[in-house]
Amino acid sequence: MVAQLYETTVATAAELIAEINDLRRRRNAIILAHNYEYGEIQEIADYVGDSLGMAQAAARTDADVIVVCGVYFMAETAAILNPQRTVLIPDANAGCSLADSITVEQLRAWKAANPGAVVVSYVNTSAAVKAESDYCCTSGNAERVINAIPADQTILFLPDMFLGSYLRQKTGRPLKIWAGECHVHAAIRPAMIEQKRAAMPDAEFLIHPECGCVSSAMDDLARGAIDSRGTYILSTEGMIAHANRSPASRFVVATEIGVLHRMRKAHPDKQFMPVDESISCRYMKLITLEKVRDSLRDLREPVTVPPEIAARARVAIDRMLAL
């Protein structure tokens, strides 16, 4: 399996990897990478996974330096969990359109309009928003978080409207949902699924609950318009686990294309195709081998969270990790 490359040559990549490995040893550093990163970034990481897995890995590490190859809120989470360690992000411009869809001022106003409501924030939020939340969740444990809240409690779910809609249908809870979206997942529309299904009727379809098509997909599944035997709505880690156990040989994956690297690496005998080649996060792809090297060499782009915000945000994060 050839790692997904960007602009480095093979020789340059090999030299950079050698430098990174040497710096990692000397710094006593750990590199955490998200599933959506370039394949060669995933290859150098000590841990690769989703937001929840990265938070769990950050919580249990004894490294002196944590390099977060992901987007900024992930580095903030690592810093909240490790106030005594150095947390770095190779490019501080690696933001998140979903996290940017709600500000802490907007959340405070929403809470004021709904006194007594329980606030559940998707992990794709700033530390300041997490500090105003009662629970954090990821797509992998969001349903468990919602079900853990007493049935008589009003729930404000933010910021992803597609995941919120999915949870409302899945749990039957009357959630109040913030109208935010991820620019990558919002681009995945029902027509893409329909076209791929018509072209590849034998493939299994793995759909992320953040996707713009997921509410339509759930409705079609309930009505029998989509064959439920070949369609699965899963978190990124759920997709990988499903591919590991499924006897199918072909899969269409409706989420960011970076996740295909792990799938193809684990199962070179199976075929994994994106629902569309354009489904790529421009923020995740800001992280390169050169930037990881520079971050370790110069301790560049440290990420810190003010203690008063970190203490409050940690309550919501710890509840997420407990579930």
50-76 pLDDT per residue, tens? 888 898 899 999 999 999 999 999 999
Residue 139, annotated as binding a ligand: yes
Residue of 91, 123, 139 lying closest to 282 (CA atoms): 91
Q: What pLDDT score was predicted for residue 216?
A: 65
Beta-strand relationship, 204-207 and 176-177: unpaired
Q: What pLDDT score was predicted for residue 10?
A: 60
Amino acid at the residue 225: A
Alpha helices in the chain (DSSP H): 10-27, 39-44, 51-60, 72-81, 104-113, 127-131, 142-148, 161-171, 183-186, 190-199, 214-223, 236-245, 260-266, 289-298, 307-322
**How many domains, the chain?**
3
Q: What is the CATH number of the domain that holds 246?
A: 3.40.50.10800
Residue 213, annotated as binding a ligand: no
The answer to whether residues 72 and 34 belong to one domain is: yes
The answer to whether residues 231 and 88 belong to one domain is: no
Residue 67, annotated as binding a ligand: no
The answer to whether residues 86 and 106 belong to one domain is: no
Residue 182, annotated as binding a ligand: yes
Q: What pLDDT score was predicted for residue 223?
A: 61
Q: What pLDDT score was predicted for residue 3?
A: 46
Peptide bond between residue 159 and the one before it cis (omega within 30 degrees of 0)? yes
The answer to whether residues 69 and 129 belong to one domain is: no
The answer to whether residues 175 and 225 belong to one domain is: no
The answer to whether residues 152 and 218 belong to one domain is: no
The answer to whether residues 89 and 123 belong to one domain is: no
| Sheet containing 118-122: order of strands | 135-137, 118-122, 155-158, 176-177
Q: For the segment 4-16, what is each residue's pLDDT rounded down to a tens digit?
A: 545 555 668 899 9
The answer to whether residues 215 and 249 belong to one domain is: yes
Residue of 6, 29, 3 lying closest to 293 (CA atoms): 29
Q: What pLDDT score was predicted for residue 220?
A: 63
Q: Report CA-CA distances (Å) from 257 to 30, 141, 262.
A: 24, 22, 10
Instruction: Please report whether residue 5 resides in a domain.
Output: no
Residue 69, annotated as binding a ligand: no
Residue 281, annotated as binding a ligand: yes
Residue 232, annotated as binding a ligand: no
Instruction: Please report whether residue 32 resides in a domain.
Output: yes
The answer to whether residues 122 and 262 belong to one domain is: no
Query: Which residue has tokens 């990124």?
Result: 236
> Collapsing DSSP states into helix, strand and coil, what is residue 269?
coil
- Residue numbers of the chain with a pLDDT score lower than 70: 1-11, 213, 215-228
- Please name the residues in contact with 39: beta carbons below 8 A apart, sequence gap of 6 or more: 3, 4, 5, 258, 261
The answer to whether residues 178 and 196 belong to one domain is: no
Amino acid at the residue 244: N
Q: What pLDDT score was predicted for residue 167?
A: 92
Instruction: Please report whether residue 103 resides in a domain.
Output: yes
- Its domain, for residue 248, covers 188-274
Instruction: Please report whether residue 3 resides in a domain.
Output: no
pTM: 0.87
Instruction: Please report whether residue 250 resides in a domain.
Output: yes
Residue 124, annotated as binding a ligand: yes
The answer to whether residues 204 and 255 belong to one domain is: yes
Q: Which helix (H) or strand (E) holds 21?
A: helix 10-27
Residue 122, annotated as binding a ligand: yes
Q: What pLDDT score was predicted for residue 221?
A: 64
Instruction: Please report whether residue 2 resides in a domain.
Output: no
